[in-house]
């Protein structure tokens, strides 16, 4: 018999490890082996020997050595049995299993340390009938157990194939087993030997192996082996999964470390580490910078922290971006102001027509700055209707005094962090928009326009208008704290200019910090001047007509303003002029020529029929209708008050989407007329028999306020007396139950609205005379004002027979 080779299995090796058998062709038939009735026994502690399997065994116990030596000298046959308990050092007869395997000692090797190693091959199973003695070694009377022939049916063949597959899978998943073992398994053709071979090398409990050995029927043995192989395969898969996961994590770390080292080497070859290079550049920039001591200390600490950090750590970019912001901010860097007041006035006049109040205020600020050399900037707020140039005026002011300009749109802002910044611990944190704007213009004293400050929102994320309290307080903004910057920044040199349409929508605490300058709408004369100076040249240039000679005279321009626009500003006027320019551009492209002078008929052809007409105030001249003046956030407007009488029980009905104050004004007017019926020669029973219905047209538009009080009373008096209201007459004022007329606001806007509408007379409270005196006389030429104290005067002036 030839042994091709074998592999020793140590006590610690628990993986499936095949022991390569003798050639199958050299094997004897187990049933043909001659087994003696009495035989020496060799107890094994950690394994079970199966028929046909070759095992190398190191023999250490004295009894076992004597038994091996005696058997080797005789017929070389020995009975191999497993111990029930492997921990027993000196077993007795009761510690041995009943069934074992007769083995032939193929080779006996004397070791240098005095031990003995034998190579044995299992031959046939046996049953111990009795133990004959245990001195000098175990001897037993045995009975040979014959092996059942392998079944040849398909079912059993499937068992065998499945055992081969399972064993091959286990070999594949076990790194300590050579891959050649699966080839050996595939080449074993004897089913009985295959079962014994796989059972012997199965990594399972000794008791399970003993159960396999004790089963007489080969089909039962194959079935149990499959169950044990399934269990072993599941364990091998789980072990392999855990091992691969751990290896993957280690491989990833090793890969990253390896790449980092490569990058470091490449940077060194290119002339130094790029990160250290960036830090050096930052330090160089910091040395040239002018900044406060607190900011300098913060930067120094940040740089020291950055030097200790690895670039791949998440905090590196956070610290780097923070230091980059500190370097980009201008800190104590200021632009030089132009103190030439005459030149500043010329610049302001060239950019904007009118607006005398604002221009004077800017020149005053420059004058003080020139004399004193240093001054806290004022916090100005321009309040007025849209389209009158509030935002563009801020840019003009910056140009006039030689400062950088930046605009911050606050409309719809609802997050307090947009003003103060986010804490830099948050992902994606950044400085607030105030500091971002200063960083962009690179100056600590720009003109900063806070556009639409009345349209700031607030919700659960905070109230931005409250955050602006610190920014817009001259006593506090020299130490403005931004959450991202984490240190104070001086905003006291910034010239803040806020713009708003409605002063009432600004938070009261914020309103208190603003120096408000009211901007009223433009008169027709002002609009014509603005159109000539700015709008027409700009629209010509935008439409490619700058070099094309044609004129729009004042009369035509006035027609465009009065018949096609009703606004306080000039945006709609500019749109109408743009329509004219587009028409002219089309004519030039088609006919290579345009009319030298545009006439009123040309305007109607281009813009269509007039949208607005003053004739309405003539046709509406009937009893019970009076014209009032109203103020809206887009400027002044005309309001019709219509009154109608019907048979009833003296009820007052109000329609037209009126607010509470307006409804109360109507009730006050009616009560005053009832109590003074005799004075105005009214039948007192009329109030009991007639229902009075007051309607204010444009019912979809909400209306409120006390200024329509005298208009409502005039309309009711006109309806009750049957006298008409004087044509082209408008009025505004609040009334009391005693018949007094009280002053109201928005006089300039209302007067200009009346002028635009073509009205010729206006009744106002005597206390509003001062407001009228502030209006340029040329703008209200042709309007006659009546200043009254009581309703008697109003009735006398308004009603005509």
Q: Which active-site residues does the annotation give?
A: 707, 750
Helix (H) or strand (E) run with residue 753 in it: helix 747-757
Residue written as token pair 């299995």: 9
- Cβ atoms of residues 739 and 792 within 8 Å: yes
Task: Count CB-CB contacts under 10 A for residue 707.
Answer: 27
Q: Is the separation of the CB atoms in 119 and 56 below 8 Å?
A: yes
Beta strands in 545-673 (DSSP E): 551-552, 597-598, 625-632, 635-647, 652-655
At CA 516, angle to CA 513 and CA 520, rounded to 5?
A: 160
| Class of residue 660 by CB neighbours under 10 A (exposed 0-12, middle 13-18, buried 19+) | exposed
Nearby residues of 22 by Cβ (< 8 Å), 6 or more positions away: 1, 2, 3, 4, 54, 121
Please give the angle made by the CA atoms of 20, 23 and 28, to the nearest 5 degrees: 115
How far apart, in whole angstroms, are the C-alpha atoms of residue 354 and residue 363?
A: 15
Buried b (16+ CB within 10 A) or exposed e, 276-298: eeebeebeeebeebebeeebeeb
Q: How many CB atoms lie within 10 A of CB 430?
A: 16
**The token pair that represents 657 in the structure block:** 């989407």
Pairing of strands 139-145, 38-44: antiparallel
Tell the residue number behind the tokens 């040329």, with chain if given. Answer: 778
Distance CA 546, CA 470 (A): 48
Torsions phi, psi for 82 (to 5 deg): -90, 145
The packing angle between helices 660-675 and 709-721, to 10°, is: 40
Rounded distance between C-alpha atoms, residue 240 and residue 597, angstroms: 94
| Rg value, the chain, Cα | 54
Distance CA 408, CA 452 (A): 9
CA angle 451, 397, 465 (to 5 degrees): 25
Q: Compute the distance between CA of residue 259 and CA of residue 168 in angstroms, rounded to an integer.
A: 38
Angle at 251 between CA 248 and CA 257, to 5 degrees: 145
- DSSP assignments along 17-75, one per residue: -------GGGPPPGGGS---SEEEEEEESS----TT-EEEEEE-SHHHHHHHHHHHHTT
Which residue carries 């340029």 as its tokens?
Answer: 776
DSSP 532: I
Long-range contacts of 336-342 (CB under 8 A, 24+ apart): 336/402, 337/366, 337/369, 337/401, 337/402, 337/403, 337/445, 338/400, 338/401, 338/402, 339/366, 339/369, 339/370, 341/366, 341/367, 341/370
Do residues 514 and 472 lie in contact, with contact meaning Cβ atoms separated by under 8 Å?
yes
Dist CA 129 CA 98 (whole Å): 8
Which residues pair with residue 406 across a beta bridge?
448
């Amino acid at each position: 018999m030839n042994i091709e080779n074998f592999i020793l299995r140590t006590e610690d090796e628990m993986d499936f490890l095949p022991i390569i058998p003798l050639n199958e062709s050299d094997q004897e038939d187990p049933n043909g082996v001659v087994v003696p009735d009495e035989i020496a026994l060799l107890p094994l502690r950690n394994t079970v020997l199966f028929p046909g399997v070759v095992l190398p065994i190191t023999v250490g116990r004295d009894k076992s050595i004597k038994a091996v030596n005696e058997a080797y000298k005789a017929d070389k046959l020995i009975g191999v049995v497993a111990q029930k308990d492997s921990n027993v050092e000196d077993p007795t007869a009761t510690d041995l299993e009943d069934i074992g395997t007769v083995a032939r000692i193929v080779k006996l090797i004397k070791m240098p340390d005095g031990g003995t190693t034998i190579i044995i091959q299992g031959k046939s199973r046996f049953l111990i009938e009795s133990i004959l003695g245990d001195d000098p070694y175990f001897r037993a009377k045995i009975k040979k157990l014959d092996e059942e022939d392998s079944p040849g049916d398909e079912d059993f063949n499937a068992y065998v194939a499945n055992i081969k597959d399972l064993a091959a899978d286990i070999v594949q998943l076990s790194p300590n087993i050579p891959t050649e073992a699966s080839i050996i398994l595939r080449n074993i053709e004897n089913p009985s030997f295959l079962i014994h071979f796989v059972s012997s090398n199965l990594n399972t409990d000794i008791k399970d192996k003993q159960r396999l050995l004790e089963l007489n029927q080969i089909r039962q043995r194959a079935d149990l082996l499959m169950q044990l192989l399934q269990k072993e395969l599941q364990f091998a898969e789980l072990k392999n999964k855990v091992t691969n996961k751990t290896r993957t994590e280690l491989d990833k770390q090793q890969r990253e470390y390896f790449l980092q080292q490569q990058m470091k080497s490449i940077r060194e070859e290119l002339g130094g580490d790029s990160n250290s290079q960036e830090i050096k550049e930052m330090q160089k920039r910091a040395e040239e910078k002018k900044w406060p001591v607190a900011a300098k200390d913060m930067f120094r600490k940040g740089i020291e922290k950055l030097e200790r950090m690895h670039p791949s750590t998440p905090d590196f970019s956070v610290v780097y971006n923070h230091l980059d912001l500190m370097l980009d901010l201008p800190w104590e860097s200021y632009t030089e102001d132009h103190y030439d007041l005459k030149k500043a006035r010329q610049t302001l006049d060239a950019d904007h027509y009118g607006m005398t109040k604002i221009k004077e205020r800017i020149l005053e600020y420059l004058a003080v700055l020139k004399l004193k050399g240093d001054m806290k900037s004022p916090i100005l707020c321009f309040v007025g209707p849209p389209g009158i140039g509030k935002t563009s005026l801020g840019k003009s002011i910056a140009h006039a005094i030689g400062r950088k300009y930046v605009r911050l749109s606050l409309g719809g802002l609802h997050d307090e962090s947009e003003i103060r910044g986010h804490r830099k611990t948050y992902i994606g944190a950044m400085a607030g928009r105030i500091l971002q704007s200063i960083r962009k213009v690179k100056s600590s004293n720009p003109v900063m326009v806070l556009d639409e400050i009345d349209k700031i929102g607030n919700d659960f994320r905070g109230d931005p208008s409250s955050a602006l309290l610190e920014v817009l307080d001259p006593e506090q903004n020299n130490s403005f704290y931004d959450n991202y910057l984490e240190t104070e920044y001086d905003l006291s040199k910034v010239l803040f200019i806020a713009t708003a349409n409605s002063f009432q929508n600004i938070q009261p605490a914020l309103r208190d910090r603003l120096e408000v300058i009211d901007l009223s709408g433009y008169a027709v004369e002002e609009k014509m001047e603005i159109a000539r100076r700015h709008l027409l040249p700009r629209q010509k240039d935008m439409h490619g007509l700058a070099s094309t000679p044609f004129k729009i005279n004042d009369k035509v321009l006035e027609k465009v303003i009065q018949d096609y626009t009703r606004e306080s500003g000039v945006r709609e006027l500019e749109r109408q002029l743009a329509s004219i320019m587009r028409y002219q551009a089309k004519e030039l492209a088609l006919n290579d020529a345009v009319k030298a002078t545009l006439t009123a008929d040309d305007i109607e052809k281009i813009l269509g029929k007039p949208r607005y007409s003053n004739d309405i105030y003539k046709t509406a001249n009937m009893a019970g209708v009076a014209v009032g003046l109203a103020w809206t956030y887009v400027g002044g407007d005309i309001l019709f008050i219509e009154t109608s009488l019907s048979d009833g029980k003296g009820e007052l009905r109000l329609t037209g989407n009126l607010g509470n104050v307006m409804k109360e004004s109507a009730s006050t007017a009616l009560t005053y007329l009832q109590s003074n019926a005799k004075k105005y020669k009214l039948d007192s029973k009329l109030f009991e028999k007639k229902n009075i219905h007051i309607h204010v047209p444009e019912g979809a538009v909400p209306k409120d306020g006390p200024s329509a009080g005298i208009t409502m009373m005039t309309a009711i008096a006109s309806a009750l007396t049957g006298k008409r209201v004087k044509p082209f007459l408008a009025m505004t004022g609040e009334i009391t139950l005693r018949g007094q007329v009280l002053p109201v606001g928005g006089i300039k806007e209302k007067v200009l609205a009346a002028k635009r509408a073509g009205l010729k007379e206006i009744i106002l409270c005597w206390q509003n005379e001062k407001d009228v005196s502030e209006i340029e006389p040329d703008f209200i030429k042709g309007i006659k004002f009546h200043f009254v104290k009581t309703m008697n005067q109003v009735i006398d002036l308004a009603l005509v027979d």
